[in-house]
Amino acid sequence: MKPVKVGLLGLGTVGGGTAVVLKRNADEIARRAGRGIEIDAIATLELEQAAALGVENIRLTKDAFEVVNDPDIDIVVELIGGYSPAKELVLTAIENGKHVVTANKALIALHGEEIFAKAQEKGVVVAFEAAVAGGIPIIKSLREGLAANQVEWLAGIINGTGNFILTEMREKGRDFADVLSEAQALGYAEADPTFDVEGIDAAHKLSILSSIAFGIPLQFDKTYTEGISKITQEDVAYADELGYRIKHLGVARRTDAGVEQRVHPTLIPKDRLIANVNGVMNAVLVKGDAVGATLYYGAGAGDEATASAVIADIIDVTRTLTTDPENRVPHLAFQPNELADTPVVDMDQVETAYYLRMSAKNEAGVLAEVTRILGDKNISIKAFIQKEPKQGESEVDIILLTHRVNEGDMNSAIEQIEKLDVIAGDVMRIRVEALS
């Protein structure tokens, strides 16, 4: 049987890793796929990179559309990233009857519905395992391995940059800005780190996981998103004192009102496995009604780690080339006409516990005023810490841990607390999840 011909778009970190691993493990990959898989053409703006990777003998071009319009290409692998021209390239490839593999979470999160509909119409596959959590096979696990389950909730550390920053802050007592600068120097964070530290990257990924877990349309625009840039060294230390770690989590949960879909800093009990995922590593915890809790851990980025997921998709597509399009695994796990119109819950309706930190005047009655406001909203306190004032300062830190409460009620309580004359500045609020 003749080899499957792949057109590779992009020869950056992931593209380079894909080319190297495909070449190095060619025999093993062919044994798994049932036929050979070879890169026939590469589109890249950095042609000299091909020689460094040892793939200079492969047909090279700077025009990606030349590859997607090539009739000899069977599978287009899009590793350019971003929204455009990635979207146009993918849709053109599909229109030309080619299967697509992509690691582009932003593209899938925002334009997946359109892309999958076009793929369904043309009878081709769009595979995107590498779009979420790098080399961890979380999409395949949710879509296939856990297909018997009704997923109750999932929670994931799905951005390595944010996890690296929070780990360094906890382990070495460093400030956010200091660690961010190092993350940029190490290549973990971009020159503009907004997507990573403000949660946008994680929200792209969470919207994909939520859709597959609960059988709902992709709804990135309804994902509540909050970053880690306001987390201080004091918050990290106080969380530790209370028995928690701070992680930047993506959480999706099935409720009677709909599906919660949220990304934000979260306190997690220290004894949870996911609380001990450190550095740039990723992990996703999934709770199914039949299987219980399952944890998926590994490298969430990197050249060969992500290439592992890309090539697994290429192998899967190769295996389906001769199968009936109607009997393939659906893109979003559920049959396209079976996606539910379950709403994504507004953040004000979410119920969770909270960590609150506030700076207050060092005088009698302050705590009583704060607890009165919380009591009026039926918010009960689980634990609290009040620190001694620092040398020469007249204000003290008060830290409260609450039981579960409606977010809307907590917002209202915080607004009233911040208006108190005895409270200086804003109240720092971090949500708490037991993940038990």
Any idea which residues carry the catalytic annotation? 205
CA distance 110 to 120: 18
CA distance 401 to 203: 26
Nearest to 301 by CA among 7, 8, 12: 12
Residue count of the chain: 436
Cis peptide before 85 (omega within 30 of 0): yes
Amino acid 372 reads: R
Q: Please report, for residues 67, 127, 163, the alpha-carbon distance to residue 23 in angstroms, rounded to integers and kept in the order given.
A: 19, 21, 32
Residue with tokens 């400030």: 175
CA distance 42 to 262: 38
102, 91 contact by CB (below 8 A):
no
3-class state of residue 188 by DSSP: coil
Q: Where are the alpha helices (DSSP H) in 292-363?
A: 303-320
